């Protein structure tokens, strides 16, 4: 279930394909993976939400970059900017450098911890362009790289930030994001695994009986950025958030994570690169034809 407007409408799809074709021609790169990130991938989009997409590439003739270049931003990161488009920024990354951020989350500008989150989000998004089936091949390895304690801390911090912003006035946007991050914390404690990216998957995985209710609330409220505080469904959402927070507090002190840090061996990163290399070698060298399908992106489970 996707909330809000269509994520990829024909105009957006045509624009993205045109940008990627031009990028490949001018940079002599080959796009092999892409995904929708941002609020659309979380099920938290609004009519004014931008369409955020990220694509990963190899060099010409599907060549791999050298480790010595992985932290040089101008060699591994590109942007296509078009402020007038709904998809106003298309981010592009060298795929070898990108997965290496799980072990070394920095560029030449210095440490950037959220680069780890970028990798999780990119491959975890349920909406992706993935002609080589890299998502299903890399996600198990990514799960081995990410410390659950640091993931819990990230979502806990984000939840509290949203709650604090609600002190300045009721906002459905902040409330829905607070619930999203609270559910992610609870998932980590309950399932001992990375939380799904999409709100629908979070709710149905933790509270199956509440899935239809939350779907209905999200769809009915989606076109209003700020709702009346006494609305009965908003009150119920606030209560739902409080219940999740209480459940987290009861479990977090006695919970022990099997993974407590983001200490990733170079061997594991090398294993990911080997997986990508094997997928490239095993494919029919027809990425352009695959990309010209009616839709770039597909929803995956």
The pLDDT tens digits for 129-155 are 999 999 999 999 998 888 888 889 999
Q: If you average pLDDT over each of 33-42, 43-52, 108-117, which comes out highest?
A: 33-42
pLDDT range class, residue 12, cuts 50, 70, 90: confident
Residues 82 and 103 in one domain: yes
The reply to whether 124 and 212 lie within a common domain is: no
Within a domain: 112:
yes
Cα 216–221–224 angle (5° rounding)? 170
Residue 20 is encoded by which pair of tokens? Answer: 């990627």
Q: Is residue 51 located within the same domain as residue 142?
A: yes
| Whether residues 122 and 195 fall in one domain | no
The distance of Cα 157 from the centroid of its chain, to the nearest Å, equals: 17
Considering the domain boundaries, does residue 98 fall inside one? yes
User: What average pLDDT score do residues 82-102 get?
Assistant: 91
What is the pLDDT at residue 291? 47
* Together in a domain, 62 and 177: no
Residue 200 lies in a domain: yes
**Where is pLDDT greater, at 111 or 196?**
196
Residue 256's pLDDT band (cuts 50, 70, 90): low
- Domain span at residue 86 reads 10-146+262-299
Please indicate, yes or no, if residue 154 is contained in any of the structural domains: yes
Distance CA 209, CA 233 (A): 16
Which of 38-52, 70-84, 252-266 has the weakest average pLDDT? 252-266
160 lies in some domain: yes
Is 16 in the same domain as 141? yes
How would residue 240 be classed by pLDDT, with cut points 50, 70 and 90? Answer: very high
Q: How far is CA 220 from CA 49, 141, 216, 227, 235, in A?
A: 17, 38, 6, 11, 15
Is the model more confident about 187 or about 117? 187
Query: Is residue 207 classed as helix, strand or coil in its secondary structure?
Result: coil
Do 60 and 111 fall within a single domain?
Answer: yes
Rounded to 5°, angle at Cα 103 from 121 and 125: 10
pLDDT at 220 over 50: yes
Write down the pLDDT at residue 96.
95
Q: Are residues 73 and 122 in the same domain?
A: yes
Q: Which of 45-54, 62-71, 112-121, 210-219 has the lowest mean pLDDT?
A: 210-219
Length of the chain: 301
Assess if residue 165 is contained within a domain.
Answer: yes
Kindly report the CA angle at 77 between 73 and 78, in degrees rounded to 5?
130
Domain count, the chain: 2
Residues 30 and 125 in one domain: yes
Whether 41 and 128 share a structural domain: yes
Q: Say yes or no: 90 and 225 in one domain.
A: no
Residue 293 and residue 211 share a domain: no
């Amino acid at each position: 279930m996707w909330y809000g407007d269509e994520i990829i409408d024909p105009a957006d799809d045509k624009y993205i394909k045109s940008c990627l074709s031009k990028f490949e021609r001018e940079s002599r790169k080959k796009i092999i993976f892409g995904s929708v990130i941002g609020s659309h991938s979380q099920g938290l989009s609004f009519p004014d939400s931008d369409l955020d997409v990220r694509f990963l590439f190899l060099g010409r003739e599907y060549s791999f970059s050298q480790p010595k270049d992985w932290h040089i931003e101008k060699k591994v990161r590109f942007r296509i900017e078009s402020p007038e488009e709904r998809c106003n920024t298309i981010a592009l990354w060298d795929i070898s450098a990108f997965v290496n951020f799980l072990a070394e989350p920095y560029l030449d500008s210095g440490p950037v911890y959220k680069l780890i989150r970028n990798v999780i989000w990119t491959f975890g998004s349920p909406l992706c362009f993935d002609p080589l089936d890299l998502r299903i091949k890399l996600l198990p390895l990514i799960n081995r790289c990410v410390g659950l304690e640091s993931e819990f801390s990230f979502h806990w911090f984000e939840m509290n930030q949203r709650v604090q912003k609600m002190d300045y006035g009721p906002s459905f946007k902040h409330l829905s994001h607070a619930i999203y991050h609270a559910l992610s914390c609870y998932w980590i404690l309950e399932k001992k695994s990375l939380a799904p990216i999409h709100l629908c998957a979070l709710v149905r995985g933790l509270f199956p009986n509440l899935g239809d209710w939350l779907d209905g609330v999200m769809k009915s409220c989606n076109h209003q950025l700020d709702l009346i505080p006494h609305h009965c469904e908003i009150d119920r959402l606030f209560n739902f958030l409080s219940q999740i927070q209480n459940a987290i507090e009861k479990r977090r002190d006695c919970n022990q994570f099997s993974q407590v840090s983001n200490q990733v061996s170079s061997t594991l990163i090398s294993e990911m690169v080997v997986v990508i290399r094997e997928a490239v070698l095993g494919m029919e060298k027809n990425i352009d034809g695959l990309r010209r399908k009616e839709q770039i992106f597909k929803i995956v489970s």
